[in-house]
Amino acid sequence: MRFTIAQSDGNMMQRLLQLIAVGMHTFFSNCIQAQQSDSTIAQPLAWGIRAHYGVILPHSEEIRSISFSRPRGVEMEVSRQLLRRQYWQYCSCYPRIGISAGYFSFDNPSILGSAWSATAFVEPFMAAPARLSVSYRLGAGFSYLNRVFHPVHNPLNLFYSTPISFNLLMNLSINYRLTSHITLRAHGNFNHISNGGLKQPNKGINFPTLGLAVDYVPQKFTFPVFQKSDWREEYPIRWQYRAAFYTTAKTAERNDAERYWILGATTDLSRRVGRISALGLGMEVTVDYSLREWLRRYEPERSHEFTRAGILLGHELLVGRFGFAQQLGIYIYAPYKAMHPVYQRYELTYKAPNGIFGGLNLKAHTRTADFMDIRVGYLFPPKLYKR
């Protein structure tokens, strides 16, 4: 059995991993060559409070009866305005990174309860020097949910089944700088919470919201002006090879207590085609013991058909030592057919200076999450850029 999630999960997970790559790179910005000329530019802090009011989207008939409520919430946040050249180069804009803590009530305490969330985000600002500007936010983090699915005590909540789940958000804001310290904001958000397919049921809850916000920046600052450099001079080596092993565990079907190992290996070759972009081709082999257990229960004569192999074609977003890959896979060996002949993978990796890398990867079949794994591997050559 596979875990059905919202149709938007693929795109949301793509934005999730992209967000983490950019945000973590900023916190560990010494991983790439810094521009000495702007090393003294201030990176001011901004404090904010945000209010939310929205609806729940009934993306499945099974959860339609519990979707007629009005979520509301409040968030407190702190962020840093990034004004140095290496950050401006990524998007020709002035991004912020930050963290927020929030509380959301789903307006149905007996079934859906409420959520406490902690979220990391990146938020590029367009036309930032002007009094009126537009920004968009991509965020990800964790939520604590106090009323999850239970087969006896709460059988109607098919949205989420684990108290700790992932949360994802996309946001568009219109910002008006009232004074040099205070900015008023109107925002629209798309919020999603699910456990990434680790346990069933996991329909995932999608709740768009509208709201107002106020930001306060204690420090005065100005936006510097930059010109882009030629990325080909910074990255003279274009080709890179990598190999990795991965593992995770999941249940065979709903209400199972035991989890079963999933093991795999992958390899690929990629070529950098831009400052932050690379294209790659690879293959993988997966041994899924949760599938073997499911086959033992329902098709025991085929219980040996739990190994699959596929080829992968994709793109990688490169942000310093962090990378986010989006890949399309096609099965070339699947004796027990998967629900679809093609699948997607979304991967976040951190690459150490010695060539070893580690990361997280989500595998999905269109709207259905299969599993999320952890992986470790080796890159050759270990670095592509000049010191």
pLDDT of res. 146: 96
Number of structural domains found in the chain: 2
Q: Is position 237 within any domain?
A: yes
Structural element, H or E, at residue 296 = helix 289-298
Do 44 and 14 lie in one domain? The reply is yes
Q: Is the same domain home to 208 and 268?
A: no
The helix (H) or strand (E) run that includes residue 14 is helix 9-27
Residue 223 inside a domain? The answer is no
Say yes or no: 59 and 137 in one domain: yes
In terms of domains, do 32 and 170 share one? yes
- Does 166 lie in the same domain as 62? yes
Tokens of 243: 């190999």
Residue 320, exposed/middle/buried by CB under 10 A (0-12, 13-18, 19+)? buried
Return the HEC string of 72-119. Answer: EEEEEEEEEECCCHHHHHHHCCEEEEEEEEEEEECCCCCCCCEEEEEE
Q: Are residues 34 and 170 in the same domain?
A: yes
Beta carbons of 361 and 196 less than 8 angstroms apart: no
241 and 192 in one domain?
no
Query: Is residue 225 one of the residues assigned to a domain?
Result: no
Tens-level pLDDT at each residue, the chain (387 residues): 343 334 444 455 555 555 555 555 554 444 333 333 455 677 899 999 999 999 999 877 888 889 999 999 999 999 999 888 877 776 778 889 899 999 999 999 999 999 999 999 888 888 888 899 999 898 888 999 999 999 899 999 999 988 999 898 989 999 999 998 999 999 999 999 988 777 878 888 999 999 999 999 998 888 887 777 777 877 788 999 999 999 998 888 877 878 899 999 999 999 999 878 899 999 999 999 999 999 999 999 999 999 999 999 999 988 777 888 999 999 999 999 998 899 999 888 889 989 999 988 988 887 667 888 999 999 998 876 654
Asked if the structure places residue 239 within a domain, the reply is yes
Residue 22 lies in a domain: yes
**Distances in whole angstroms, Cα of residue 360 to Cα of each of 103, 105, 109, 320, 347:** 27, 30, 33, 17, 6
Tell me the sheet residues that pair with 2.
Answer: none
160 and 267 belong to one structural domain: no
What's the domain range around 293? 231-380
Residue-by-residue DSSP string for 17-40: HHHHHHHHHHHTGGGS---GGGTT
Q: How many CB atoms lie within 10 A of CB 319?
A: 21
Query: Is 7 buried (19+), middle (13-18) or exposed (0-12) by CB count in 10 A?
Result: middle
Residue pair 320/32 in contact (Cβ under 8 Å)? The answer is yes
Which CATH number covers residue 141?
A: 2.40.160.20
Note whether residue 226 is domain-resident: no
- Residue at a domain's end among 216, 245, 276: 216
Global pTM reads 0.72
